[in-house]
Amino acid sequence: MEERLYVKKPISAGLILSYKCTSKCKHCMYACSPKWKPDWITKGDVEKILRKLSSSLMPSPRGPEHIGVNYGLHFTGGEPFLNFDLLLECVRIADELKIPSTFVETNCFWCVDDESTKGKLKALKETGLKGILISVNPFVVEYVPFERIERAVRISREVFNDNIIVYQEIYYRQFKNIGMRDIIAFNQYLDEYDWALHYSELLPMGRACYELKDLFMKYPARAFFDESCVSELTRNWHVHVDNYFNYMTGYCGGISLGDVRDLDTMIREGVSLEDKPVLRALVTNIKSLYEFAVKEFNYEENDEGYISKCHLCIDIRRHIVQQTDEFKELQPRELYYNLKPE
C-alpha cells in the first residue's frame, strides 16, 4: 500500500510574503536575509492561498478581533514592511475573506520616526489588521536600533491597544532596564548580559544550528536516531505558506509538504511519501534519514557533533540540496544557501 502522511486542516498560519529581510539574524528559522531574491508574492497568489486557508483558521479564544501567536493568520517573511503596499493588500484580502485574528510580524527597521510609524500602523488597522507582533531579541538588535523597537511598541499600543505581542518580553524588559541604545553585536551582548539567554525560548533550528551552535551542548548523530518528526510535520497550528506555494509545518523551514493549492487533496487523501524519500525518512526516524544520506550522497558525520535533531536534519538536507534538485520536498532551495555565514 502506498505510504501517506495525513495532515489536518490548519487552525493557524503565517503567510511568508518573501524571504527577503533587512536583517540576517543568527536564530532565523527560515534563513531570511537581504540576499534573497525579491520574489514578492503576487496579489493574485495571496488571494488563492488565503481562500484555501480561510475556512479552517481559528480565532483567538478572546475573539476574532483579538490576536494570539497560534491563532488566526499572520503576515510574515522575511520582513513584510519592506513591501508596505503589498502588506496592505494582503490585509485587505484577508479582511474581505473574514479571516480572524490577523497580525503582522516585524523587526521594526522601518520605525524611523513617530509620524511615519503611526501612519503605517493606522493604515493597516483601518484596512482590517487586528494587531502586531514585534520581534525583540539579541539577534534582531544586531541590525535594528533599539529606539525603533521602543517606538514601535509605544505607538502600536496606541493604535492596537492590547493587540500587541512583544516577542520576547524578557528581552524587551532587559533592554529597557540596561538603557540600550542603537545596535549591539551579539558577542558584545554575550560578554555583558548573557543571563537572559537562560530564560528565553531559543529553538535549535534553522540558521541557529550554524550560527549559535557554541551556545549548546553537542551530541553525536546516533543520539538522535530514534526520534521521528511525525508530530512536528503533521502539526496543524502555526503552519507557514510561502511565496512559492510551499506548505510547511512544524517550523521546519525548507521542508515542503506540497503545493498549498492542493491542500484540500493533501488533507483528504494524505501526502504521498512515495515520491518524497526525505520526508518519508523523517516520519520514520532520523536514523533512516542519516543512512539514506550516507548511502546515496556520501554524507559524513560532523566530528563536532550536533546541537539537536533539527541540526542533524538540516545539515543533511543542505548537503543533499547542494548535490541534486531531485527532491521536491526540499523547497525553497535558496533557503539552504542562506543558512551559514558568508
Cα separation, 204 vs 13, in Å, equals: 21
Cα separation, 240 vs 204, in Å, equals: 18
Which listed range, 65-73, 191-199, 247-255, 326-334, lies at the site for ligand SF4 (CB under 6 A)?
247-255
By CB under 6 A, tell whether 250 contacts ligand SF4: yes
Cα separation, 135 vs 194, in Å, equals: 18
3-state secondary structure (DSSP) of residue 272: strand
Q: Which of 77, 131, 138, 332 binds ligand SF4 (CB under 6 A)?
A: 77
Which listed range, 45-53, 77-85, 148-156, 172-180, lies at the site for ligand SF4 (CB under 6 A)?
77-85
By CB under 6 A, tell whether 79 contacts ligand SF4: yes
By CB under 6 A, tell whether 145 contacts ligand SF4: no
By CB under 6 A, tell whether 24 contacts ligand SF4: yes
Side-chain half-sphere exposure of 201, counting CA atoms within 13 A: 7
Return the exposure string of 76-108: e unless at least 16 CB atoms fall within 10 Å of the residue's CB, then b.
bbbbbbbbeebbbbbbbbbeeeebbbbbbbbbb
Site pattern 3..22 for ligand SF4 (x: CB under 6 A): ------------------x-
By CB under 6 A, tell whether 310 contacts ligand SF4: yes
CB atoms within 10 A of CB 231: 10
Binders of ligand SF4 among residues 264 to 283 (CB under 6 A) are 282
Dihedral (CA of 247, 251, 255, 257) sign:
negative
Minimum CB distance to ligand SF4 smaller for 15 or for 59: 15
Site pattern 218..237 for ligand SF4 (x: CB under 6 A): -----------x--xx----
By CB under 6 A, tell whether 107 contacts ligand SF4: yes
Taking only Cα atoms into account, the Rg of the chain, rounded to an integer number of angstroms, comes to: 20
- Which residues are bridge partners to 72 per DSSP? 12
Contact residues for ligand SF4 (CB under 6 A)?
Answer: 21, 23-25, 28, 32, 77-79, 107, 135, 140, 205, 229, 232-233, 250, 252, 255, 282, 309-310, 313-314
